[in-house]
Amino acid sequence: MSIARQCCDEARHVGMFRRLVEKRGKQVGSYPVMNFQYRIVCRIPSLEGRLAVQNKTFEAGGIDAVALAITEAEQIGDFDLVDLFEFQEADEITHVRFANEYLRKVIRDHPRVAMEVARALTTAMAAFAEVMGEAATKVRYDVSSEARLEAGFLPEELKVASDVMSKKKTTVAGV
């Protein structure tokens, strides 16, 4: 049911973005769309690997990025975009929480799954780096600690994510 809910949520996100794009006088196809995350995830053979990559990595990173996007939209008074991002953030927190809870349980019950998850993350990281190049190592936002905790990350996972993000931000700053 959680996966079905996520599919429904993602379809709703597409509709929300489409309505906003059209409200602003543009149409679908006006901007390029990269689907490399989808292509990366579809090559992972196990559900557990896909959840680790899609939900715990890509969507968790999305939670972090959308926190900055909300702040920037508020600063310029774009409240349609603020609303859209706040709805999206709430859904993504639920998706990430499902993956965190599911993966903890399945790894506890079947420890070998941890190896499948590690393999999937390693493969996805390499593919992401291949597509994004040097941009894969640079970000301009922080880990959204409160949202990640709400999404079921453990404090020690949050620390690792924050350390990784600090290194990426340092690379952006040129320090």
Where are the domains positioned within the chain? Answer: 2-173
- When pLDDT is cut at 50, 70 and 90, the band that residue 170 belongs to is low
Residue owning tokens 């190896």: 115
Query: Of the candidates 127, 133, 6, 120, which has an alpha carbon nearest to the alpha carbon of residue 62?
Result: 6
Query: Of the candidates 34, 81, 91, which has an alpha carbon nearest to the alpha carbon of residue 59?
Result: 91
- Are 113 and 48 in contact by the 8 Å Cβ rule? The answer is yes
pTM > 0.75: yes or no: yes
DSSP track, 18-84:
HHHHHHTT--TTSS----HHHHHHHT--SHHHHIIIIIIIIIHHHHHHHHHHHHHHHHTT-HHHHHH
Taking the mean position of all CA atoms in its chain, how far away is CA 17? 17
- What pLDDT, on a 0 to 100 scale, did the predictor assign at position 171? 60
In sequence order, the 6+-apart residues with CB closer than 8 A to the CB of 24 are none
In tens, the pLDDT along 63-102 reads 999 999 999 999 999 999 999 999 999 999 999 999 999 9
Indicate if the pLDDT at residue 152 is higher than 60: yes
Query: Of the candidates 107, 135, 132, which has an alpha carbon nearest to the alpha carbon of residue 120?
Result: 107
CA-based radius of gyration for the chain: 17
- When pLDDT is cut at 50, 70 and 90, the band that residue 172 belongs to is low
Q: What is the SS3 assignment for 151? A: coil
Instruction: Give the span between the Cα atoms of 32 and 4, in whole angstroms.
Output: 27
- When pLDDT is cut at 50, 70 and 90, the band that residue 24 belongs to is very high
In tens, the pLDDT along 26-46 reads 998 888 888 899 999 999 999
Give the mean pLDDT of the chain. Answer: 92
In tens, the pLDDT along 91-149 reads 999 999 999 999 999 999 999 999 999 999 999 999 999 998 888 778 888 899 999 99
- What pLDDT, on a 0 to 100 scale, did the predictor assign at position 168? 79
